[in-house]
Chains A and B, each alone.
With several copies, the nearest count.
Chain A
Amino acid sequence: MARSKVYPGFAEAIHGIEDGSTIGFGGFAMPGVPFNLMKALQSSGAKGLTCVANTTGGAGQPRMPDIGHLVELGMVSKVICAFTAATRASDQLPFTKYYESGEVEAELVPQGTLAERMRAAGAGIPAFYTPTAVGTELAAGRETRVFAGREYLLEPALPLDYAFIRAHRADASGNLRFRRSQRNFNPIMAMAARVVIAEVENDIEPAGAFDPDDIHLAGIFVHRMVVIPPAPDGLWPQLREPRA
Chain B
Amino acid sequence: MSGLTRQQMADAIARRFEDDWIVNLGVGIPTMCSNTAITADIIYHSENGVIGYGPMAAPGHEDMHLVNAGGQHVTLKPEAAVVHHADSFAIIRSGKIDVTVMGAYEVASNGDFANWKIAGAKGGGIGGAMDLAACAKRVFIILEHTQRNGAPRLLRQCALPVTARGVVKLIATNLGLFEPAGDHFNLVAIAPGVTLDEVRAATGAPVEPAPGMTEIVP
Decide if A and B touch, CB cutoff 8 A: yes
Q: Which of B127-135, B197-205, B209-217 binds A? A: B127-135
Interface string of B56-98 (1 = CB under 8 A from A): 0000001111111101010010111111111011111111100
**From residue 104 to 129 of chain A, which have CB atoms closer than 8 A to chain B?**
106, 108-113, 115-116, 118-119, 121-125
**Chain B CB within 8 A of A162 CB:** no
Known: A85-B117, A123-B94, A220-B51. A183 touches B123 (CB 8 A): no
Neighbouring A residues of B165 by C-beta, 8 Å: 134-136
A66 at the A/B interface (Cβ < 8 Å)?
no
A175 with B71: CB separation less than 8 A:
no
- The A184-218 residues at the B interface (CB cut-off 8 A) are 184-188, 191, 206-208, 212-213, 215-216, 218
Interface centre among B48, B50, B124, B129 (most CB of A within 10 A): B48
Binds A, one of B4-12, B39-47, B173-181: B39-47
Smallest CB gap from B89: residue in A? A112
Q: With an 8 A cutoff between CB atoms, is A173 at the interface? A: yes
Known: A168-B65, A175-B81, A185-B85. A113 touches B71 (CB 8 A): no
Further pairs besides A82-B127, A111-B89, A208-B79: 15, Cβ < 8 Å:
A31-B65, A83-B125, A83-B126, A87-B27, A87-B115, A87-B116, A87-B127, A124-B94, A133-B134, A135-B162, A173-B52, A181-B66, A183-B85, A219-B52, A237-B65
Check: A180 CB closer than 8 A to any chain B CB.
yes
Instruction: Say yes or no: is A148 at the interface (Cβ < 8 Å to chain B).
Output: no
Of the four ranges (under 10, 10 to 19, 20 to 34, 35 or more), the interface on chain B belongs to 35 or more
Residue of B nearest to A216 (CB): B84
A111 contacts B47, C-beta separation under 8 Å: yes
Contact partners of B51 in chain A: CB under 8 A: 218, 220
B164 within 8 A of A: yes
For the complex formed, measure the closest distance between the CB of A224 and the CB atoms of chain B, giving whole angstroms: 14
Would B84 and A83 count as touching, CB distance under 8 A? no
A28 at the interface (CB under 8 A from B): yes
* Contact indicator A124/B64 (Cβ below 8 Å): no
Interface secondary structure of B, over-half rule: loop
Q: Are B123 and A2 in contact (CB under 8 A)?
A: no
**Count of chain A to chain B residue pairs whose CB atoms are closer than 8 Å in the complex:** 217
Tell me the minimal C-beta distance from B81 to chain A in angstroms: 4
Q: How far is the CB of A60 from chain B (nearest CB, A)?
A: 7
**Interface contact A208-B78, CB-CB below 8 Å:** yes
A181–B162 touching, CB < 8 Å? no
Chain B contacts for A28, CB-based, 8 A: 47-48, 67, 69, 85
Residues 147-191 of B contacting A (Cβ, < 8 Å): 161-165
Check if A99 is an interface residue, CB within 8 A of chain B: yes
Known: A124-B92, A137-B161. A220 touches B85 (CB 8 A): no
27 contacts between A and B (CB under 8 A): A28-B48, A28-B69, A82-B125, A85-B125, A96-B122, A110-B129, A110-B131, A111-B128, A112-B92, A112-B130, A113-B130, A119-B90, A123-B89, A123-B94, A124-B94, A131-B134, A136-B162, A173-B79, A180-B82, A185-B84, A191-B94, A207-B79, A218-B51, A218-B83, A220-B91, A237-B64, A237-B65
- Whether a CB of chain A sits under 8 angstroms from the CB of B22 is yes
Which one of B71, B94, B116 contacts A60 once the chains associate, using CB atoms below 8 Å? B71
Is the pair B82, A181 in contact by a Cβ cutoff of 8 Å?
yes
* Cβ-defined contact, B63 with A136, below 8 A: no
Tell me if A108 and B162 are in contact (CB < 8 A). Answer: no
Contacts of B134 in A (CB 8 A): 131-134
A112 and B93 contact, CB distance less than 8 A? yes
